[in-house]
Amino acid sequence: MREKLKAARSKAEITLLQEDPSPRPRRLKSIRERKTEGRLDKESDNKFGKMREDESHLPSKIKFRDSVKKLKQKSTFQNDFPSAEEAYNFFTFNFDPEPESIKAGSRKRNKLNEEQETEEDCVETHEDEQEEDETDEDVCLVKGDDLFIIGQAAEDFLVMKPADCESYSEQLKKEKEFLFTPSMRAVPTSEKMPGNMQPRYLEDEGLYTGERPFVSQSNQNILENRILRQEQGKEWFGDDGKILALPNPIKQSSTRPPVFSLEEGIAPELETVYRKAIKMTAANQYLVGPGDFQGPFQLDIDISGLIFSHHPCFSREHVLAAKLAQLYDQYLARKQKNLTKLLTDKLHALRNAVQYSIDSGGDGVPRPVAQQSIPEYKIEIRQTRRLRDAEQEKDRMLLKTIIKVWKQIKSLRDFQKFTNTPMKLYLRKEEVDQKLDEKTYEAEIQAEITELLEECMEEYEKKMEEYKTELQEWKSWKKIQKSKKKKKKKGTHEEEESVEDCDLGEERVKPIPPKMVSSLEIEQQVREKAENCRRKPGVPALIPELVLSGSITPTELCPRAEVLRREDVKKRSAFIKVLFNSKEVSRTVTRPISSDFRVHFGQIFNLQIFNWPESLKLQIYETMGMSSTTLLAEVFIPVPETTILTGSAPMEEIEFSSNQRVTLDHEGVGSGASFSFEADGSNKMTLMTSGKVSNSVSWAVGEKGIPLIPPVSQQNTGIPSALKNIDAIASIGTSGLTDMKKLAKWAAEAKLDPNDPNNAALMQLVMVATSGEAHIPDFFRLEQLQQEFNFVSDEEFNRSKRFRLLQLRSGEVAEFRNYKQVPLHEREISEKIFQDYEKRLKERDVIDSKNYLDAHRAVVANYLQKVRESVINRFLIAKRHFLLSDLVNEEEIPSLGILGLGLFKLAEPKRPLKPRRKERKKVTAQNLSDGDIKLLVNVVRAYDIPVRKPVLSKLHQPSKSSRSFNEMFAASPSAQSPTDSPDWAFNQVLVRPFVEVSFQRTVCRTTTAEGPNPNWNEELELPFRAPNGDYSPHSLQSVKDEVFINVFDEVLHDAVEDDLERGSGIRTRVERHWLGCVKMPFTTIYFQARIDGTFKVDIPPVLLGYSKEKNLGIERGYDSVRNLSEGSYITLFITIEPQLIPGESVREKMNEMLKKFDTQEDEKLLQAAEKYEAECTSKFPSRQCLTTVIDLNGKTVFITRYIKPLNPPQELLDAVPNSSQTAAELVARYVALIPFLPDSVSFAGICDLWSTSDQFLYLLAGDEEEHAVLLCNYFLGMGKKAWLIIGNAIPEGSTAYVLTLEQSQYVIWNPSTGCFYGQYDTFCPLQNVYCLISCDNIWFNMQEYDSPVRINFDISKPKLWKSFFSRSLPYPGLCSVQPEELVYRHSDKAAAVELQGRIEKILKDKIMEWRPRHLTRWNRYCTSTLRNFLPLLEQNQGKDVEDDHQAELQKQLGEYRVSGFPIHMPFSEVRPLIEAVHSTGVHTIDVFNVEFALAVYIHAYPQNVLSVWIYVASLVRNR
């Protein structure tokens, strides 16, 4: 504590002393003057003094300490400024000079120095409390103290002085000395160049200079200016007057190709890459599979010690001693073998044998065998003798060297005057009997002489013979030679030849006759040799004996070099690492190397092994002192054979040597360094570190005496010879050993003896393998311990229904997504749960032609299902991707406009005359449950409902003229003037319609109104149930239910059969006749929040018994308002209560994600598109701007690429060769006949995938966009001016329509129905127009209104239509994604007929099925009549045939009341057809004598587009 205090104080002083003498303008200096430098000391001292007075008072002490602390802090950190209280004191205190108090102060100071120490001790004792009680109160008290102190001592250290102030200009001047501001102006080249040099531009001279890295010019100038200020600054500039710079290292193109991620959300670098599994090398082979673990296998490695035969620390004596020891070991080994004796004995035996056979031969009895063997014996004797001689010589030499080395040691010891090794050699003399010895010696020599003589004789004879033959040859040659010479003399011309002959002939020398070897000579030789290699007779035999009993000179007596050496040795120690399969498994303790260079370990390591023992290695390490560890050598130990078990294993010594190179500065000879024993340094020798490790390796024996040997330990390389002939590795290879089957096969083929203990392990293994209990898995397991942690096995896991259920649920499989309460027990889960799911899985790949009746459509449906699944999977990923707005509700920052509006609102009248509609509160779909949501349908009114026709009305033929567009759109009621006389219309109720709304099997109906233009104005409320009770936006988006709004006519029939009863009461039967319907998908309502409009009622082209009454007087008022159009209309208002927030964010996110996918578009184009979109949406946020779409492959494609003139089917064009308008209608109808598949349902409102027209025609399914694109392309192909409209329509919502320009009039086509509307048609379903797209441009609607009625379609006006490609961004000529030409398959009439029959049968069956309690009679006659109508209907596209039918039927079925209608549908599958028939409710009629008629007609268009007509009718016999 005290030290700290002192330190702080001294620090404070230093800082005060070091205060910058240069004036600082803003400093308040009045208090801290130079003279008060010591003030702090004094001040604190004073405080100590003050505190002393109330020493007994504990809290004050604490305060005091705090004040000290504060002061310390102040003194160290705040010494520039006065603290608040100081400042206060300074300004408020009255500084009266009082000399007395100064004195008192100084006195106190003196006292204090003595007492300070005791003070501080006190402080220490209260340390703990001080830390805790540091509260504000105390601080206040401290302030009081300070005041008090200063009041007492202020005079001591306060001196008045005016504040130092420096003028600004002076300051600037000073600053100028230090500061330099580099100018940003360019430096003239002359300054940068050394004097009088012209800049030289290398580039101009044609040399390569490279591109300089970009640095902004101003920065460059600054740098140049800065450099120039330095000395030698010019060195930085090159010849051209620019700063030297290397060329720009940044490459323009990236070296690495860009990596595109397949999966979103994963950075490409982190993506997993599939690699084919590679079989591991033998290093990782497991003995057994983890499953069938047979118990641990154990290797015992006993490392007993280490002996160095050479070590860098060996002294010369050690070297010799080691040599001696080696020699002695050799000697002992030889002695043990005693080869000499063995050979001598053998020689004797052979000689005896020869002697014996000669002797027995001498008996006269011929012994041919013995005779024959004599020469063999002799040869043997000769060899044995030679060997014996060699051995003897070696023995002798060894002895000699031993003695020589010993002598060297002795001389060395004498020389160096100390002994290092305990070695001593004794030579024991073995006295021999001289006479006997001499005798045997002589006998030996004699025997040898005789033998040699014999040998020589034999040789001589052999040579003689050779000589003779050679002589003979020579003689004959000589003769020839002579004759040749004669010839030569005959003619010179032959000379050359003969010379050649001479040359060719061998230069024959006359053979020399062999000399006879004299016996003396031989004797001489023998004796000489005996002298050399044999002990002289009588000389005692010398037996060397090496003992370690010698004494070593104590270190004190040794010279310095030797002492150093010994110390060095002491420092050294060694240890051994055991490496199993080149992995370190254990290591011995580090033991010091003893003075005789032996290290004793005596450690046994038990290795439990799991891997094949492949290599066993010991690494010998030497450590020097504390630090360095060096690897001396590695020793490989053979893996023991299976027979070697612990206890029986012999200790083995394995030699090692190191190539280490060490030179030492003491007596040690070093290693790898040459040294010499001689004084003159000659006879140099170099020794390397080497030694022996004694160890033993064996297989452990288990508790019950079972050897812990792995089953196939034949693996090891040291295969016992016994197994060599049946070597498994040789026959099936090493890898085969791990393959049990191969091994077993081999074992069977090799016919191993099962009883052979050598094969026991193998046989056991083979048995296990073949019995199938164990197998080695043929796979590579990444996490081999995984199995340990599995709490059940995989099979069990798969078998468990519960786990499966849980797994499927967490995988969000549609069927199980919201499954609640998975039962705890297996038995409680019924198999049925999975049935649907499994069925679906099965059906995915199996094409079910029953449902589709058409193989092609089945294939397509499958394909679409797959696309859908992949999209949904992407969507699920996207769903996991949260945005902040998903989690946190945060208010937008109010913009100025909103704020202003808010202010404006304040001034608004409280009760406005024209109240605004208040927005309903939106509800997030989080805590909703069944019954909370209701669908409200307000049926307002309907127009032009078909009216009943009097049964016997007269025939009338409407004027059927092909009307032109102009006619149609012209509001000309006169064109279709009523042909009927209106009289009956007034007399009779025309129709009593009511509306029935059905949704999710709930049905609601309105009251019955009257007349063809009824007004209901009724609100119907239908409950809504989300699938699986899941009210999340995602789930709501995928609701597939539709709202059916059916219009019926209520017909009252007099049910009284009997005329007699007529008077007493009225009994009527109510019948209802279906007139038409409007379908509205729930998703449309969900996304649109409310649907308000007038919709065309889908009325069949022919309604038997009804007719469309037009232009009747009743509705005259409306005529002027609306254009005349065909069909009936109904005004509806549909909404959901409460209002749900559509999950748009998910859709946007998905689109964002999809945009990140691949694209082949130019980056610049995409950027421009983004910019364009942003611009457009900023102006009109509600209008959708579409520039890029996603194709079926998930690639982003610029939208104009989809628009391209394409050829419609030639058949359609041929049908109406001259009228382009009819052709257009026909084409539109053809397009409409392609089945409709809304993306919003199939892809859960996530994204729009656009398929090209050929894909669309192949798939035969698509949504509005595809229809529109195809239709637009056809129109273009037909030479019309056509555009794609992106807009909003009822009921589809956001959709695509087609706009054509026909004779200066714009026509809007609905591609999914084939209908067309004039621009000013109020019943046009298209409500808003957002943008127009052609094949080369996009125009965004910039007009105030977007309703087609109110806008101008003239795209040439840039103020009204903002075009994407303009003068600033010209159209780059994007190639189309559409094919060059569409190829159509011809319509298959036969297939259509077949399909027609099948559908008819199915439908008839269905109708009978729906009437289970009634007899269903089919009127064949009517059916055939209807069947005849249908092709006609197709031909006329369902127009203007109604009356023909009526008449025809009337004619044929006069006695029946017929009600029925044809249904027309595009064909996709059977189910919708059945639904359509069912929804009309024809079957519900329950008159007892009702008959039915049903006919189906299918017209095939090219490319298998089928138009289906179903005519259903019910017939009741009139009476």
Partner 1 sequence: MAAAGSPSVFLLAVTGQIESGQFPGFDDLYCKFCFVYGQDWVPTAGLEEGISQITSKSEVAPTTLVWNFPIDITFKSTNPSGWPQIVVSVYGPDFFGNDVVRGYGAVHVPFTPGRHTRTIAMFVPESTSRLQKFTSWFTGRRPEFTDPKVVAQGEGREVTRVRSQGFVTISFNVVTKDMKKLGYDVSPSDMQNPSLVPVTEGIHKY
Nearer to partner 1, 353 or 814 (CB): 814
Quick one: which of 196, 889, 1064, 1182 contacts partner 1 (CB under 8 A)? 889
Closest CA to 750 of 739, 761, 763: 763
Closest CA to 933 of 839, 823, 1022, 1053: 1022
Joined tokens for residue 1170 = 């983004």
* Number of shown-chain residues binding partner 1 (CB under 8 A): 25
CA distance 488 to 1012: 154
Joined tokens for residue 1206 = 């394409």
Nearer to partner 1, 281 or 889 (CB): 889
> Which residue bears the tokens 């024809």?
1482
Q: How far is the CB of 806 from partner 1 (least distance, A)?
A: 7
x-or-dash pattern for partner 1, window 1449-1468, by CB under 8 A? --------------------
The separation between the first and the last C-alpha atoms of the chain, rounded to the nearest angstrom, is 126
Quick one: which of 59, 718, 894, 1454 contacts partner 1 (CB under 8 A)? 894
What is the number of residues in the chain? Answer: 1519
CA distance 329 to 578: 28
Nearer to partner 1, 554 or 931 (CB): 931
CA distance 603 to 695: 9
Q: How far is the CB of 785 from partner 1 (least distance, A)?
A: 24
Q: How far is the CB of 259 from partner 1 (least distance, A)?
A: 25
Quick one: which of 887, 903, 906, 1375 contacts partner 1 (CB under 8 A)? 887
CA distance 1508 to 1233: 9
CA distance 1329 to 1180: 12
Question: Which H/E stretch holds residue 1163?
Answer: helix 1163-1179
Residue 895 interacts with partner 1 (CB under 8 A)? no
Joined tokens for residue 516 = 């006879």
Q: How far is the CB of 890 from partner 1 (least distance, A)?
A: 4
Residue 823 interacts with partner 1 (CB under 8 A)? yes
Strands 1249-1250 and 1188-1191 come out as parallel
CA distance 891 to 82: 48
Q: List, as one string, the DSSP characters of 1189-1239.
A: EEETTS-EEEGGGG----PPPHHHHHHSSS-HHHHHHHHHHHHHTSPB--H
Quick one: which of 893, 903, 1375, 1390 contacts partner 1 (CB under 8 A)? 893
Q: Write a three-state SS string for 396-460.
A: HHHHHHHHHHHHHHHHHHHHHCCCCCCCEEEEEEECCCHHHHHHHHHHHHHHHHHHHHHHHHHHH
Nearer to partner 1, 432 or 806 (CB): 806
Residues 1322-1381 touching partner 1, rule: CB under 8 A, are none
Return the range that interacts with partner 1 (CB under 8 A); candidates 454-462, 508-516, 891-899, 1362-1370: 891-899
CA distance 776 to 762: 15
CA distance 693 to 576: 10
Residue 135 interacts with partner 1 (CB under 8 A)? no
Q: List, as one string, the DSSP characters of 1398-1441.
A: HHHHHHHHHHHHH-TTS--EE-HHHHHHHHHHHHHHHHTTT-S-
Residue 265 interacts with partner 1 (CB under 8 A)? no
Using the 8-state DSSP alphabet, how is residue 671 labeled? B
Nearer to partner 1, 595 or 1032 (CB): 1032
**Which residues make beta-bridge pairs with 311?**
none
Quick one: which of 431, 496, 788, 890 contacts partner 1 (CB under 8 A)? 890
Return the range that interacts with partner 1 (CB under 8 A); candidates 140-148, 215-223, 752-760, 817-825: 817-825
Closest CA to 4 of 59, 83, 65, 54: 65
**Which residues make beta-bridge pairs with 1289?**
1293, 1326
Nearer to partner 1, 500 or 826 (CB): 826
Nearer to partner 1, 880 or 916 (CB): 880
Joined tokens for residue 968 = 């149609």
Residue 1216 interacts with partner 1 (CB under 8 A)? no
Residue 891 interacts with partner 1 (CB under 8 A)? yes
Residue 952 interacts with partner 1 (CB under 8 A)? no
CA distance 1199 to 1250: 9
Alpha helices in 1070-1133, H assignment, sequence order: 1082-1088, 1116-1119
Nearer to partner 1, 621 or 819 (CB): 819
Q: How far is the CB of 888 from partner 1 (least distance, A)?
A: 5
Return the range that interacts with partner 1 (CB under 8 A); candidates 215-223, 878-886, 1223-1231, 1470-1478: 878-886
Q: How far is the CB of 1330 from partner 1 (least distance, A)?
A: 30
x-or-dash pattern for partner 1, window 793-812, by CB under 8 A? -------------x--x---
Give the CA distances from residue 1305 to residues 965, 966, 1310, in Å, rounded to whole numbers and listed in that order.
9, 8, 16
Nearer to partner 1, 823 or 978 (CB): 823
Joined tokens for residue 474 = 């020579």
**1215, 1227 Cβ separation under 8 angstroms:** no
**1230, 1212 Cβ separation under 8 angstroms:** yes
Nearer to partner 1, 927 or 1120 (CB): 927
Residue 828 interacts with partner 1 (CB under 8 A)? yes
Residue 883 interacts with partner 1 (CB under 8 A)? yes
Return the range that interacts with partner 1 (CB under 8 A); candidates 164-172, 822-830, 1018-1026, 1341-1349: 822-830
Residue 136 interacts with partner 1 (CB under 8 A)? no
Q: How far is the CB of 1035 from partner 1 (least distance, A)?
A: 14
**1252, 1182 Cβ separation under 8 angstroms:** no
Q: How far is the CB of 296 from partner 1 (least distance, A)?
A: 30
Nearer to partner 1, 805 or 1232 (CB): 805
Q: How far is the CB of 1471 from partner 1 (least distance, A)?
A: 32
Q: How far is the CB of 801 from partner 1 (least distance, A)?
A: 13
Return the range that interacts with partner 1 (CB under 8 A); candidates 322-330, 410-418, 880-888, 1385-1393: 880-888
Q: How far is the CB of 1149 from partner 1 (least distance, A)?
A: 12
CA distance 278 to 436: 80
x-or-dash pattern for partner 1, window 907-936, by CB under 8 A? -----------------x-x----------
Q: Is the dihedral of CA 1434, 1435, 1438, 1444 positive or negative?
A: negative
Closest CA to 1469 of 848, 851, 868: 851
Per DSSP, the three-state class of 1339 is: strand
**Which residues make beta-bridge pairs with 1296?**
1286
Closest CA to 689 of 664, 653, 713: 664
Residue 822 interacts with partner 1 (CB under 8 A)? yes
Residue 882 interacts with partner 1 (CB under 8 A)? yes
Nearer to partner 1, 9 or 817 (CB): 817
Q: How far is the CB of 802 from partner 1 (least distance, A)?
A: 9
Quick one: which of 880, 917, 918, 1413 contacts partner 1 (CB under 8 A)? 880
CA distance 1251 to 1201: 12
Return the range that interacts with partner 1 (CB under 8 A); candidates 253-261, 824-832, 1205-1213, 1432-1440: 824-832
Residue 100 interacts with partner 1 (CB under 8 A)? no
Nearer to partner 1, 880 or 917 (CB): 880
**651, 694 Cβ separation under 8 angstroms:** yes
Residues 1068-1087 touching partner 1, rule: CB under 8 A, are none
Quick one: which of 18, 683, 721, 821 contacts partner 1 (CB under 8 A)? 821
- Residues of this chain that interact with partner 1 (CB under 8 A) are 806, 809, 818-825, 828, 880, 882-884, 886-891, 893-894, 924, 926
